[in-house]
């Protein structure tokens, strides 16, 4: 325990037989539970964990049924009963698997029966921690790239109830541009910029780091089964947290590479997929947060930006065609296009400014 509160670490693992022992052996003593989620590895990851614990294992299926308080069946509780049914159906949407318990050990191993992806593995670990009312749940990858000595600083803001989500930031470190591979650095910068816009957390950077901690309220406040199942999970969860109006904080951490890990992420394949995810997430956040739940003028600004942009694109295309093909310029088209261009830029800037102002209170220094 830390600050008299429970701490668990979710360790997503896929073919980490060479690194998983390093993660387990260096885990700080204040960690109460280590929830390793083996995402159908094809190597000896599970066996290595079992050997490390040196005890007999007891297998059981994952309990996706959460014990809920009984609700009296009457007209006044109809809405509560609907919510209860929805939550029970959501339990069935997690990646299937089984738990392996190690008596007298703080390690819990969850074995996926299908390969769900790193996001799905973290969602399964999050679910276990939520259902067991863990106060602070951190994530440390199974490849050993996260310094265990930094775990306390990651967890403390959550345990002090200052924020609901803490994420590490490697880019603050002076050696970041030297240690982090150049392709990773460029890809990270692109996705960080897109994530700022999509999530509304305009002050975050290094959005691809998985070294994070989340409060129990945060786990209960987002739909865990809908966390993006692949490498876009850190970006997706930021959008979900912003929709729920949860406060976040960034903690400086060291970039760790070349310790024997083997990266499974192909950055140039990840960027298009995550970019598409963030585009959808941006519109979802605008609709849910600023139209459906609580109307805000920035919704109008963004709506007018896209409307004027849709009008301006064919006008600009026509002007370009006339100028280069027909060698003439239609003054009417030119005036309307200039007006639409200036209007779209103005609406975009106002929308972004409103967005920054509204979300300023959700970022803690």
Tens-digit pLDDT profile for residues 315-336: 999 888 888 888 888 888 889 9
pLDDT reading at 130 higher than 80: yes
User: Which segment of 49-58, 65-74, 313-322 scores lowest on mean pLDDT?
Assistant: 65-74
Task: Report d(CA 294, CA 312) in Å as an integer.
Answer: 30
User: Which segment of 85-94, 103-112, 166-175 scores lowest on mean pLDDT?
Assistant: 85-94
| pLDDT attached to residue 7 | 97
pLDDT reading at 5 higher than 60: yes
Banded pLDDT at 348 (limits 50, 70, 90):
very high
**Between 60 and 304, the higher pLDDT residue:** 304
Asked if residue 67 and residue 166 are part of one domain, the reply reads: yes
pLDDT reading at 260 higher than 70: no
Asked if residue 160 and residue 11 are part of one domain, the reply reads: yes
Range of the domain at 324: 297-360
Q: What percent of the chain has pLDDT over 90?
A: 64
Asked if residue 161 and residue 107 are part of one domain, the reply reads: yes
Residue 343 falls inside a structural domain: yes
pLDDT reading at 265 higher than 80: no
Banded pLDDT at 200 (limits 50, 70, 90):
very high
pLDDT reading at 64 higher than 80: no
| pLDDT attached to residue 142 | 92
Asked if residue 345 and residue 232 are part of one domain, the reply reads: no
- Per the structure, the count of domains in the chain is 2
User: Which segment of 107-121, 165-179, 225-239, 261-275 scores lowest on mean pLDDT?
Assistant: 261-275
Banded pLDDT at 261 (limits 50, 70, 90):
low
pLDDT reading at 236 higher than 80: yes
| pLDDT attached to residue 69 | 62
pLDDT reading at 126 higher than 60: yes
Asked if residue 119 and residue 85 are part of one domain, the reply reads: yes
| pLDDT attached to residue 270 | 80
| pLDDT attached to residue 100 | 86
Mean per-residue pLDDT of the chain: 89
Give whole-number Cα distances, 365 to 122, 144, 157, 163, 362, in Å: 26, 28, 11, 10, 10
Sign of the C-alpha dihedral computed for residues 325, 327, 330 and 336 taken in this order: positive
Contact 350, 301 (CB under 8 A): yes
User: Which segment of 35-44, 168-177, 305-314 scores lowest on mean pLDDT?
Assistant: 168-177
Which of 288, 311, 333 marks a domain boundary? Answer: 288
pLDDT reading at 59 higher than 60: no
The CATH number of the domain holding residue 223 is: 3.90.550.10
Q: How far is CA 210 from the centre of its chain?
A: 8
**Between 166 and 232, the higher pLDDT residue:** 166
Q: What percent of the chain has pLDDT over 70?
A: 93
Asked if residue 260 and residue 200 are part of one domain, the reply reads: yes
Residue 185 falls inside a structural domain: yes
Give whole-number Cα distances, 302 to 57, 235, 360, in Å: 55, 21, 18
Residue 62 falls inside a structural domain: yes
| pLDDT attached to residue 67 | 55
Asked if residue 234 and residue 95 are part of one domain, the reply reads: yes
Residue 1 falls inside a structural domain: no
The two structure tokens encoding residue 16 = 């980490």
Sign of the C-alpha dihedral computed for residues 88, 89, 91 and 97 taken in this order: positive
Banded pLDDT at 262 (limits 50, 70, 90):
low
Asked if residue 119 and residue 253 are part of one domain, the reply reads: yes
Average pLDDT of the residues in 215-235: 93
């Amino acid at each position: 325990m830390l600050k008299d509160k429970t701490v668990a670490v979710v360790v997503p693992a896929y073919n980490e037989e060479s690194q998983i022992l390093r993660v387990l052996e260096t885990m700080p003593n204040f960690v109460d539970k280590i929830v390793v989620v083996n995402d159908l590895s094809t190597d000896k990851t599970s066996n290595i964990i079992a050997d490390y614990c040196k005890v007999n294992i007891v297998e059981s299926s994952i309990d996706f049924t959460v014990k809920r308080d009984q609700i009296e069946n009457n007209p006044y509780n109809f809405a509560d009963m609907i919510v209860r049914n929805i939550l029970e159906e959501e339990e069935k949407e997690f990646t299937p698997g089984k738990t392996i318990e190690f008596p007298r050990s703080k390690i819990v191993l969850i074995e996926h029966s299908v390969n769900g992806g790193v996001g799905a593995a973290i969602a399964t670990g999050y679910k276990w921690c939520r259902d067991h009312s863990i106060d602070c749940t951190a994530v440390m990858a199974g490849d050993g790239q996260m310094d265990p000595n930094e775990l306390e600083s990651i967890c403390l803001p959550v345990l002090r109830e200052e924020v609901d989500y803490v994420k590490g930031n490697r880019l603050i470190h002076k050696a970041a541009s030297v240690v982090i591979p150049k392709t990773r650095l460029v890809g990270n910068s692109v996705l960080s910029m897109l994530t700022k816009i999509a999530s509304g957390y305009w002050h975050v950077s290094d959005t691809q780091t998985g070294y994070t901690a989340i409060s129990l309220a945060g786990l209960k406040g987002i739909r865990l089964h809908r966390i993006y199942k692949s490498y876009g999970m850190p970006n997706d969860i930021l959008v979900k947290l912003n929709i729920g109006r949860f406060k976040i904080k960034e903690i400086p951490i060291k970039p760790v590479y070349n310790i024997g890990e083997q990266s499974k992420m192909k950055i140039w394949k990840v960027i298009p997929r995550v970019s598409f995810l963030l585009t959808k997430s941006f519109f979802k956040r605008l609709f849910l947060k600023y139209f459906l739940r609580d109307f805000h003028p920035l919704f109008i600004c963004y709506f007018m930006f896209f409307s004027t942009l849709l009008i301006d694109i064919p006008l600009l295309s026509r002007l370009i065609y006339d100028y280069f093909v027909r060698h003439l310029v239609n003054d009417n088209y030119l005036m309307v296009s200039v007006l639409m261009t200036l209007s779209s830029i103005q609406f975009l800037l106002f929308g972004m400014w409103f967005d920054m102002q509204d979300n300023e209170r959700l970022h803690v220094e």
